[in-house]
Structure 1
Amino acid sequence: MLGGLAKALFGSSNDRYVKSLRPIVQKIGSYEPALEAMSDEDLAGQTVKFRQRLDAGETLDSLLPEAFATVREAARRVLGQRHYDVQMIGGIVLHRGEIAEMRTGEGKTLVATLAVYLNALPGQGVHVVTVNDYLATRDAEWMGRVYRFLGLTVGTIVPNLTDGQRRDAYRCDITYGTNNEFGFDYLRDNMKYERSSMVHRPFHYAVVDEVDSVLIDEARTPLIISGPTDDKSELYKSVDAIVKQVEKSDYEFDEKQRSVVLTEDGTERLERLLEAAGLLEGDNLYDFENTQVVHHLNQALRANIAFKRDTDYIVKDGKIIIIDEFTGRMMDGRRWSDGLHQAVEAKEGVNIEPENQTMASITFQNYFRMYPKLGGMTGTAATEAHEFYQIYKMNVVTIPTNLPVKRIDQDDEFYKNIQDKFAAITQAIREAKERGQPVLVGTVSIEKSELLSEFLTKEGVAHNVLNARYHEQEAHIVAQAGRLNAVTIATNMAGRGTDIQLGGNLEFRLLDEHPDLEIGTPEFDAAAERIRAEIIVEKERVLAAGGLFVLGTERHESRRIDNQLRGRSGRQGDPGLSRFYLSLDDDLLRIFGPQTMFARMMNKNLQDGEAIVSPWISKAIETAQKKVEARNYDVRKQVVEYDDVMNDQRKVIYEQRADIMDAETVDEVVADMRAETANAIVGEACPPNSYPEQWDMEMLTARAADVLGIAPPFDEWLAQDGIDPELLTEKVQAEADAIIAAKQADIDEQSWHGIEKSVLLQSLDHHWKEHLATLDALRQVIHLRAYAQKTPINEYKQEAFALFERMLVAIREEVTRILAHAHFERTSELPELPPMPDFITSHLDPLTGEDNSGDRDAGALGLISSRAPQGALGLAGDGFAISPEVAATLTRNSPCPCGSGRKYKHCHGAL
């Protein structure tokens, strides 16, 4: 109560923050008269002056008012658009690394130019992140006119560019692209063998458009680069044929978790079917020998039962194409991992492509946290403000609208079943069409949009359908959704990026009606003038009819998506209307709603065709949505917790890769590896404080020959007085060094350096890939530790750290072994570094079965020593350990924190 009173008297914290920015906006306005009087050349020359002032020691904050005023004037001259004062507030918020929540139609694309221009002045590169390639290309061209006018360079990152084109785009002052392209370029850069072939520059500043879609919705799934493994298509087909014979009594299906579990009877039945097909070893499905069959069986069950055609995926041109659950878009080229995609391919009878093994991965959370400063903008962020701050340390600021919002948001209407609901929707659309009011109908899936489309067609209601099947016509359909009598069915309006303008869109009408006319010709100008006049008249009629009517056919799992749909109506002070129609058959109510209460209310109190309209029921629906949002947040939080463990290791590996690429020679690193390996081999066979007769000389001889390529006279050495493990280690090291020195003398010095670098990088990459696969497998089973009253994430950290140490040991051994056993010839030609491996990119969820990345069978650790490693983030002889968190802050040449007095790279940071 007191809080409500204080808010009424003093305004909310958001209101007070926005109010505090008003003096800066007034200062920006004070520069306007002087800038208006400048010539185009003088205005463009402001950029050079600003950069000189930065070089002289001024800060970006001190330049902000004048720089923002310069951009406003440039946009007015180039685009014919002048930033409103509220847009200036949005620009300040973006510059400060916060999220600007601005309603649809308030000009977020134009707002970004302010912060982007200011932060591009230091010349370190600004990334503008969009949700799809169309918007990246469109915005780079559209807003690029302002930047180029002011003397800045603009690049665009889209698929299918060469490395040279990408490098050029990243060298620009401002680079537009999608979150996926930026992230994949970062991963690909860290798989390359030469620094000169990398495309990214050091991270500086980024602005994320549709920030909730990018940093929340898509952040549940990491970016994965993977390569193909063995073909198992026949096994998928065989298992799929068996799974198609299961009955409902054979399994239990959890729709919330999308998991399928066999019952006891179902297990027995499937065991007999698998046995008859010759796929079962022994007679027990869960014997160790049948691990792979169980995995394939689980994925086939999920593909056939949990995943629905035209909802989760579509079949197009003989391929399974995933449908993005948040935007309704086709995710062409993306594949579910861990064998799920192959199981769906077998289910639909299309060509089965091989499984993939993870080669590199990163979550969006950890990718975007690498930017020293990050800003974002969207129409809907307030409901996720807590998560934005917890994960990204970004505050959400709600920016006031330029004109008051006139849209009327009506309470939801509830019907007994889906037939009654569709009948009411049809009636509402008919009434709107009679008034001439355009209707935007929002659905949650392709299946629902096509079901409604069939219903409307039978009822004789003309309409357009916008979903993943008609992806190519998307912008054209959305652009004309505000025309008189228009009825548009859309699957999830999140991030469409095209404004719905009442009366129609001039640009798209010209493209649709006069595609042959060239811009600038008299015929084109005449057609444009005629259509412009028609749009003005039509807009007046639409406004009189009440503006755009947004009709939701059911609630989405997230309130944000509902708000995005609503936000399409009532832009820039236009009138509008929004209403949602619900029934007990809707997925949200069926899966997450308080079923008993709703069922009783609907069945006892409602007649067929009758509706309930109540704010209290709308509140209950919002509670169900909050449950789903909380569950999804927990999933994303868990993704971050697990990826943070890998991220610490990723930073160490990528930094060491960069050091190797930058070094002229890696002689020192390789020699240290050889010494560590010799020390480990001798230490394994000849433990400290033991007698020579206790030493395992047979193992030492075999290991020295296998790893170091030497056959020392151990019998002679043992006969010497005073021999101990330390002296033995020195002798073994000397023999190993002599072998390498002889090889090095046989070939050109520069070639030898190239060979060492190539072997080191390839070994590092191979074992890192194997390590990722092992961590993927570990993450899938670590939750079982909870049964032993242990915290899975803590267990995962310990296991992952131990695996990382063992990986470093394996790298040292392999590099030493290859160089010791390889044969080289003298040549004047430098050895060529290997080409980039073939791989595919994917963006898939590691915490639900359909989205696990990596191959279960890829984590073989056969080359890894069982002995505890020494150095390289492991335990030193004195028991000192350095955590990955600390290691990530150290450079190769910094003093080692263990106090040895040696450089980190020669002590605990040795590979």
Structure 2
Amino acid sequence: MALLGIAKKIFGSSNDRRLKPLFRRVEAINALEDELSKLTDDGLIAQTEKLKQRYKDGESLNDLLEEAFATAREGAKRALGQRHYDVQMVGGMVLHLGDIAEMKTGEGKTLVATLPVYLNALTGRGVHVVTVNDYLASRDAEWMGRVYTQLGMTTGCITHGLSDEERRAAYACDITYGTNNEFGFDYLRDNMKSSLDQMVQRGHHYAIVDEVDSILIDEARTPLIISGPTDDKSELYITIDALIPQLTEDDYEIDEKQRSVTLTEEGNEKIEGLLKEAGLLQGDNLYDSVNISLVHHVNQALKAHKTFQRDKDYIVRNDKVTIIDEFTGRMMEGRRWSDGLHQATEAKEKVQIQPENQTLASITFQNYFRLYEKLAGMTGTALTEEAEFADIYKLNVNEIPTNRPIARIDMDDELYMTADEKYKAIALEIADCVKRGQPVLVGTVSIEKSEYLSNLLSDKKFYKDLAKTLRERAANLKEKEAELKTKMESQAAYLSELGDRKDPIPHNVLNARYHEQEAEIVAQAGAPGAVTIATNMAGRGTDIQLGGSVDMQLMASLEEGDDEETIKRKRTEIEAKIAADKQKALDAGGLFVLATERHESRRIDNQLRGRSGRQGDPGTTKFFISVEDDLMRIFGDGMEKMLKRFGIRPDESIEHPWFTKAVETAQKKVEQRNYDMRKNVLKFDDVINDQRKAIFEQRIEFMSTDTVDDIIGDMRNQLVDDLVAAHMPPKSYAEQWDVEGLKKDLQEIFGKDMPIDEWAKEEGVADSEIADRLVEETGRIAGARAAEVGPDMMRRIEKAILLNVLDTNWREHLQMLDHLRSVIWLRGHGQRDPVNEFKTEAFALFESLLDGLRRDVTRMLMHVQVRAPEQALPERREIPMTETHVNPTTGENEMAAVDPRSRLSAGIGTMKGVARTKGVDPNDPETWGRVPRNGPCPCGSGKKYKHCHGSI
């Protein structure tokens, strides 16, 4: 370790070595400043056009960096009156290189982004700037848009509620601001459109993610989902519900701790028999891929009957099942269990079954942002998640030096035995700050705890009781503790005074939601004596300036009809007042950040700490924690016993670096657990990501081509080959052929009787020859259909049907994957990896999707009827859609209603990156892979595997 420290002093850290060459480029940028300052405004716009042309002529963006950064700095000076610091230039270079720039609060990240945004916008391919909420997107687009306008570039902004035309116009701009949700949902919606001109996005070239840790780490725990109502399945729920009471206690096992129920082996066999009698089971095995949806419904019905109790977990009132909150005991009107569980409970209680929603499209933030050719991010706190950024996104974290040295004092944690003692100490600290005129930002980990502390600060009796306690403690102090006694008596007197006030300590409370009003309150949190209570995410994106914000106060003071002279006068008055207030706050010690609890993530704590000490201002941060806090209780590893051994007394605390370190160790455990959760979400999404991309790419190819007749022909020919192979297996004898079955399938699909039985009687005829004849015959049928409808009209019908069937089958495929994922964890009980099992099953389902697509498209084209020109094209049924992204912090929904053979068109039916399943030889167990014990034995005996080759 000592040698490592010496080497670091000599050679610098890895971060220093990465930044050193970037600082050298700053000198070249600064050398251009005088020259560019002499340009007129039109000359500055001409400079942009000159740089664009040089890029078109073959120069790289890296070649243009110095001139582009110097030009952007000049534009900011003229539009905003702000000049980029040298360290901001370095931050801009890091973002251009496609990495993460960690910059402390108040270092001007919003302004830094203009540098790489301007440079990369020279390509004309569009740049996306991603923010955490609509307010910041609108604010930054308007604010920084002045810089881009000064430089001759256009700026757009994507917020919730815009029409497709407005979105298309915003994406067509050189620079587009918007939220992570909006960008992601637009991508999903674009891949549900029926023509290219309906799409709004124009590719994924370069994106800068503001608050990158919040978007790519915190919110990545939940995917974006667009859902719509499913077909009515009431009869299925009712039928399955009637089967569950026929099971006995030996047929299932209940895990009360996990609140789950699973069928035993005997139960599996019994439910298979019952389902077969009901005509619901396809084949003999419940766990075949074709029965995945059925397994899901059986499991949900079993769960509804065996683990959910009426009048405890839910009540039935007015013909509805209403959930009861397990913590509060209150009815949760409007809330429904997902994945068909609510419908299963409705069937159990014999009330009207409401339709469930199905997933129409979904994507995780990880896979959405990995679509970009180049991705960068900026935040004040990323180093603690450096490994995850590198592993998932291939992004390096670079710590950018501050413009001025940090003067903030980070004190050790103050640890108490109980939460009550902790809150008393917090109230005392806040009162002391208010008395001295020091602004306080109080951080809490939840809305409930914010409200609890707010009520405490407003409770006059609480201050009276606290004053009494302090006086009693002061009276027991010894003479040598006279100084402490005097201080405590002074505090008690002040607390008594607060207890006599109508509003003891005025304060603002902010929750975790983002609103413009909230940003205004946070901007004024630096006023002398101001007390602001905020949850862990509140106020991000808004700078806390000591004394307050001139712009915010000016906006609040403006009245309708104010002329320029009045506005100028008001600004001067506000500036003078804020300068005096800032000096008062500085004299009191700057912003005091007081945290009421350690968050489960060190990064969130660092975000809170970073609010204090901006731009070299003084400040103090301190965390108050207790053994009863969730983090310490669950992950503290015997902290309570340790404190008792130290002999800690009531209302006493311990401050020591060792305890601070112990808390950080507990946080690391939670961070690792959360990382594993996010990685698990990504593992499952990665399984279908290749399928998703292949489907989306094929849709775009279908929409962009004038005719899809070659694609349709390939699909028709492959369908014929598949049907022949299914009914006339290769290397089989003619006597084994299922000629009647083949005739029936062909009749159903093509609407014509084929003379297959006559061909099959011919001497020496092979299955391949019959397939060739069928390909020729079906080609003639298709040609006749095209001639009947008209070639041009047929081309349009083919494209419309192809897209409609593809979308319908893809939706059903996603629903099957949802059901599969809900039950795949059961494989873990059999010592199988659920992710690998999900991969295997998902690829098999994808094969079924492709088979069904070829069959459905061909059948529809063979039977389509054109009665009148206006009825020629099948109408695209509009589905009411709901957008869902659950905020992991609040638990609330943030959005609401609203080889040629590698192609999908190819006859073989494989897709890019999607493997085909290998053939199974009944005589070679080595080719069987893992066979379900209740599945049919691959040898062809007709027995279950467990009773045949799988017998023990």
TM-score range for the pair, normalised by the shorter chain length: 0.7 to 0.9
Structural mapping, 1:330-729, within 5 Å: 337-338=338-339, 355-458=356-459, 459=463, 460-468=504-512, 471=515, 473-493=517-537, 496-512=540-556, 514-518=557-561, 520-594=563-637, 596-602=638-644, 605-729=647-771
Compared CA separation, residues 337 and 155, structure 1 to 2 (3 A): farther
- Structure having the higher Rg: 2
Deviation at 1:812, TM superposition (A): 0.5
2:275 aligned partner: none
3-state DSSP class of the match of 2:458?
Answer: helix
Which deviates the most, 419-428 or 733-742?
Answer: 733-742
Compared CA separation, residues 337 and 603, structure 1 to 2 (3 A): farther
Letter matched to residue 483 of structure 1 = A
Say whether the 8 Å CA contact 2:300–2:344 is kept in structure 1. Answer: no
Q: Which residue of 843, 849, 852 maps to 1:801?
A: 843
Deviation at 1:95, TM superposition (A): 0.5
3-state DSSP class of the match of 1:360?
Answer: strand
Letter matched to residue 601 of structure 2 = S
Say whether the 8 Å CA contact 1:494–1:565 is kept in structure 2. Answer: no
Residues 541-585 of structure 1 show CA distances to partners (whole Å, capped at 9, x for unaligned) of: 001001111010101110000000010111001111111111122
Deviation at 1:592, TM superposition (A): 2.1
Question: Is 1:224 the counterpart of 2:267 in the alignment?
Answer: no
1:94 aligned partner: 95
Letter matched to residue 172 of structure 1 = C
* TM-score with structure 2 setting the length: 0.79
Which deviates the most, 618-627 or 765-774?
Answer: 765-774
Letter matched to residue 568 of structure 2 = D
Say whether the 8 Å CA contact 2:118–2:148 is kept in structure 1. Answer: yes
Compared CA separation, residues 553 and 370, structure 1 to 2 (3 A): same
Say whether the 8 Å CA contact 2:77–2:83 is kept in structure 1. Answer: yes
3-state DSSP class of the match of 1:219?
Answer: helix
Say whether the 8 Å CA contact 1:550–1:579 is kept in structure 2. Answer: yes
Compared CA separation, residues 230 and 880, structure 1 to 2 (3 A): closer
Compared CA separation, residues 98 and 584, structure 1 to 2 (3 A): same
Letter matched to residue 461 of structure 1 = I
2:913 aligned partner: 884
Deviation at 1:170, TM superposition (A): 0.8
In 1: Cα distance, 2:559 partner to 2:340 partner: 48
In 2: Cα distance, 1:553 partner to 1:223 partner: 32
In 2: Cα distance, 1:611 partner to 1:814 partner: 72
Residues 78-126 of structure 1 show CA distances to partners (whole Å, capped at 9, x for unaligned) of: 1010000000000010000010000000000000000000000010100
Structural mapping, 1:820-859, within 5 Å: 820-825=862-867, 827=869, 831=873, 834=876, 836-844=878-886
In 1: Cα distance, 2:261 partner to 2:726 partner: 47
Residues 600-641 of structure 1 show CA distances to partners (whole Å, capped at 9, x for unaligned) of: 525872222111111111111101110111111111222222
Deviation at 1:829, TM superposition (A): 7.3
Say whether the 8 Å CA contact 1:686–1:696 is kept in structure 2. Answer: yes
Deviation at 1:36, TM superposition (A): 1.6
Deviation at 1:404, TM superposition (A): 0.6
Structural mapping, 1:86-165, within 5 Å: 86-165=87-166
In 2: Cα distance, 1:216 partner to 1:716 partner: 66
Say whether the 8 Å CA contact 1:645–1:800 is kept in structure 2. Answer: yes
Q: Which residue of 753, 778, 783 maps to 2:820?
A: 778
Compared CA separation, residues 352 and 52, structure 1 to 2 (3 A): farther
Deviation at 1:836, TM superposition (A): 4.6
Compared CA separation, residues 640 and 342, structure 1 to 2 (3 A): same
Compared CA separation, residues 160 and 742, structure 1 to 2 (3 A): same
Counting aligned pairs with the same residue, the percent is: 54
Deviation at 1:471, TM superposition (A): 4.5
In 2: Cα distance, 1:615 partner to 1:825 partner: 83
In 1: Cα distance, 2:760 partner to 2:872 partner: 43
Deviation at 1:374, TM superposition (A): 1.0
Say whether the 8 Å CA contact 2:135–2:514 is kept in structure 1. Answer: no
3-state DSSP class of the match of 1:155?
Answer: strand
In 2: Cα distance, 1:572 partner to 1:385 partner: 25
Compared CA separation, residues 484 and 423, structure 1 to 2 (3 A): same
Say whether the 8 Å CA contact 1:338–1:850 is kept in structure 2. Answer: no
Structure 1: tracts of 5 or more residues without a match: 240-249, 265-285, 321-334, 854-869, 888-911
Compared CA separation, residues 341 and 568, structure 1 to 2 (3 A): farther
Compared CA separation, residues 22 and 306, structure 1 to 2 (3 A): farther
Compared CA separation, residues 819 and 793, structure 1 to 2 (3 A): same
3-state DSSP class of the match of 1:605?
Answer: coil
2:950 aligned partner: none
Compared CA separation, residues 680 and 637, structure 1 to 2 (3 A): same
Letter matched to residue 584 of structure 2 = R
3-state DSSP class of the match of 2:661?
Answer: helix
In 1: Cα distance, 2:147 partner to 2:328 partner: 45
Say whether the 8 Å CA contact 2:416–2:653 is kept in structure 1. Answer: yes
Deviation at 1:871, TM superposition (A): 6.0
Aligned residues between the structures: 806
In 2: Cα distance, 1:343 partner to 1:402 partner: 61
Compared CA separation, residues 90 and 187, structure 1 to 2 (3 A): same
Compared CA separation, residues 489 and 723, structure 1 to 2 (3 A): same
1:268 aligned partner: none
Which deviates the most, 365-374 or 7-16?
Answer: 7-16
In 2: Cα distance, 1:47 partner to 1:62 partner: 15
Say whether the 8 Å CA contact 2:522–2:539 is kept in structure 1. Answer: no
Residues 289-314 of structure 1 show CA distances to partners (whole Å, capped at 9, x for unaligned) of: 8533344576899997997679xx99
Deviation at 1:740, TM superposition (A): 2.6
Deviation at 1:730, TM superposition (A): 2.8
Which deviates the most, 122-131 or 366-375?
Answer: 366-375
In 2: Cα distance, 1:801 partner to 1:610 partner: 61
Which deviates the most, 415-424 or 459-468?
Answer: 459-468
In 2: Cα distance, 1:340 partner to 1:305 partner: 15
2:206 aligned partner: 205
Report the aligned-residue RMSD: 3.6
In 2: Cα distance, 1:486 partner to 1:617 partner: 30
Deviation at 1:11, TM superposition (A): 2.0
1:865 aligned partner: none
3-state DSSP class of the match of 2:203?
Answer: coil
